[in-house]
Amino acid sequence: MELTGIESTVALVTGAAQGIGAAVAGVLASAGAHVAAVDRNAEALATVVTKLEADGGSARGYCVDVCDSEAVDALVRRVEDELGPIGILVNAAGVLYTGRVVELSDRQWSETFSVNAGGVFHMSRAVARRMIRRRRGTIVTVASNAAGVPRTEMAAYAASKAASAQFTRCLGLELSGYGIRCNIVSPGSTDTPMLRAMLGEGTDPRQAVEGSPAAYRVGIPLRKLAQPRDVAEAVAYLVSDQAGHVTMHDLYVDGGAALHV
């Protein structure tokens, strides 16, 4: 199925310097979008943008911290001044701290929510204000299957992703009268730098496929890790015309790991 409605659209993608965010930027650029790639890691972001351009895509990098609401507002103004109206927003920026609740620091909890929930709020609010005036647009938040399934040593991450998912559903309800769609993509274990950092150096990421009874964690029924592009393709579908009657939906891309909760 060929996706339509993406070509020539300005797509702002946060967390674009690596992992799922970089994959989303690549898939949307290959579909003809003008990608505004956003991240706070300037060096890694420049590498991604250079590759997108070398592959024939239209992309420009913007180094911004999504936790800073004033910087986000200024960014959105700048992107629209330089590239045109934002028609697609993908919230893919995220951080992960692992550890048992009794061992988590205030800083770890606060930063997790500042990026994973606060960043989604700041960016969505800034873009939605402009989409409302145009009565069109689509927003996708990359959450996690951990938002719906309890995970040991992932309380801050899971709670922040649950907050971002429910926020996006509420936003979708508020914006539906303007023809603006808001959806969620919830990945499971995906072969990204974040997963490798969580598992630890020297650990085979495919261990996530087997699960861990001691941690009350089932494996992945499809017997494979997701690749970042698997998640990016789901995002591309939700922002396309082919999903024109889909809003407030949470699409799990986890190989069945959540057992369809």
- Average pLDDT score over residue span 247-257: 97
Instruction: Choose among 84, 86, 161: nearest CA to 119.
Output: 161
Structure letter (DSSP) for residue 208: H
| pTM of the predicted model as reported, rounded to 2 decimal places | 0.95
Measured in residues, the chain has a length of 261
Task: Kindly state the DSSP code that residue 176 receives in the 8-state scheme.
Answer: G
Residue-level pLDDT at 75: 98
Cβ count near 109 (within 10 Å)? 16
Range of weakest confidence among 105-109, 157-161, 214-218, 229-233: 214-218
Any domain includes 259: no
Instruction: Assess if residue 99 is contained within a domain.
Output: yes
* pLDDT greater at residue 72 or residue 196: 72
Q: Is 3 contained in some domain?
A: no
pLDDT for 241: 98
Residue 157 catalytic? yes
CATH of the domain at 214: 3.40.50.720
Q: Where are the alpha helices (DSSP H) in 96-250?
A: 106-113, 119-134, 155-175, 193-199, 207-210, 228-239
Per the structure, the count of domains in the chain is 1
Q: What is the pLDDT of residue 207?
A: 75
The enclosing H or E element of 253 equals strand 250-253
What pLDDT sits at residue 64? 98
> For 64-90, what is the mean pLDDT?
98
Rg (CA), the chain: 17
Average pLDDT over residues 108-124: 98
Q: Is residue 261 part of a domain?
A: no
Query: Residue 251 and residue 158: Cα distance in Å, rounded?
Result: 16
Q: What confidence score (pLDDT) does residue 202 get?
A: 62
Catalytic residue among 97, 157, 216, 252: 157
Would residue 257 count as lying in a domain? no
pLDDT of residue 89: 99
Domain that holds residue 46: 10-252
